[in-house]
């Protein structure tokens, strides 16, 4: 247990900060994923073939490509794209994107593809009579969505969103390739320094399990809240 002590002799403080970084990336990526799902869910449900094609292309491509490849594309391609735009304005110096931003956006886009499918399925599961009743009553689309559709959608979506959260949380381990020090990266550094990889990788597994367990407890409470009366 001396290896997990805080201070210069142990790795406890480094692993603690790495755990906080993992949580920060996962939460940020989940929020970015929600923003993407707000954009692409309406496209998936649209009767317009072109908009529907855009929505389907996004979810099909992102879910069909390995997550690590998406991270590589953003990490290496993102800097190149920004440098190309900067060169148009006369700036030719090297530009490196922050690893936290790269990882959060890349995982957020992956999370958004899965969240889009969850929200699409949840909305389509709502009884069509709810939409028709709101239309007959003359309820505006804004009120219809936030007062009638959203609460019912959340009740149906939360169980599947818990799976999306677990995928997002575990995908944070992939951004260790960008150099961002999260649980996996810090475990790799500690294992190499102490030559005790089995201990640190097992402890990393325990940390991920703890995060998953605690987050599932919170999600279960949300599920009970939005399932009130059912």
pLDDT score, position 180: 85
pLDDT score, position 113: 93
pLDDT digits (tens, 9 = 90+) for 70-94: 888 888 777 777 777 777 777 777 6
- Band (142; pLDDT cuts 50, 70, 90): confident
Tell me how far apart the alpha carbons of residues 81 and 124 are, in angstroms, rounded to a whole number.
Answer: 38
Asked if residue 190 lies in contact with residue 11, where contact means CB atoms within 8 angstroms, the answer is yes
Mark out the alpha helices in 126-172 (DSSP H runs).
128-136, 141-143, 150-171
What is the token pair recorded at 3? 């290896």
pLDDT score, position 213: 92
Asked if residue 82 lies in contact with residue 73, where contact means CB atoms within 8 angstroms, the answer is no
pLDDT at 1 over 70: no
- Band (111; pLDDT cuts 50, 70, 90): very high
pLDDT at 14 over 70: yes
What's 64's DSSP letter? H
In this prediction, residues 2-23 reach a mean pLDDT of 82
Count of domains observed in the chain: 1
What is the token pair recorded at 208? 């991920």
What's 6's DSSP letter? S
**Which domain CATH number covers 64?**
1.10.3720.10
- Band (21; pLDDT cuts 50, 70, 90): very high
The mean predicted confidence, pLDDT, of the chain is 85
In this prediction, residues 186-215 reach a mean pLDDT of 89
Compute φ and ψ for 54, nearest 5 degrees. -65, -45
H/E segment holding residue 44: helix 12-45
In this prediction, residues 169-197 reach a mean pLDDT of 87
- Band (102; pLDDT cuts 50, 70, 90): confident
Structural domain for 88, as ranges: 2-226
Q: What is the distance of C-alpha 101 from the center of its chain?
A: 13
Which comes out higher in pLDDT, residue 16 or 10?
16
């Amino acid at each position: 247990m001396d290896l997990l002590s805080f201070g210069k002799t142990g790795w406890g403080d480094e692993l603690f900060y790495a755990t906080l970084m993992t949580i920060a990336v996962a939460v940020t990526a989940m929020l970015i994923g929600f923003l993407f799902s707000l954009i692409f869910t309406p496209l998936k449900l649209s009767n317009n073939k072109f908009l529907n094609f855009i929505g389907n292309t996004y979810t099909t491509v992102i879910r069909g490509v390995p997550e690590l490849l998406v991270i590589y594309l953003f990490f290496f391609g993102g800097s190149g794209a920004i440098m190309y735009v900067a060169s148009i304005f006369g700036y030719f110096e090297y530009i490196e994107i922050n690893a936290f931003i790269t990882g959060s956006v890349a995982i957020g886009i992956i999370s958004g593809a899965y969240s889009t499918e969850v929200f699409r399925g949840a909305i389509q599961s709502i009884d069509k009579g709810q939409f028709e009743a709101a239309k007959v009553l003359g309820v505006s689309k804004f009120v219809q969505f936030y007062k009638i559709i959203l609460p019912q959608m959340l009740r149906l979506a939360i169980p599947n969103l818990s799976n999306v959260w677990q995928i997002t949380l575990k995908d944070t381990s992939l951004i260790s390739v960008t150099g961002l020090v999260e649980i996996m990266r810090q475990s790799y550094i500690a294992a190499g320094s102490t030559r005790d990889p089995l201990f640190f990788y097992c402890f990393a597994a325990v940390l991920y399990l703890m995060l998953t367990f605690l987050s599932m407890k919170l999600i279960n409470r949300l599920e009970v809240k939005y399932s009130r009366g059912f």
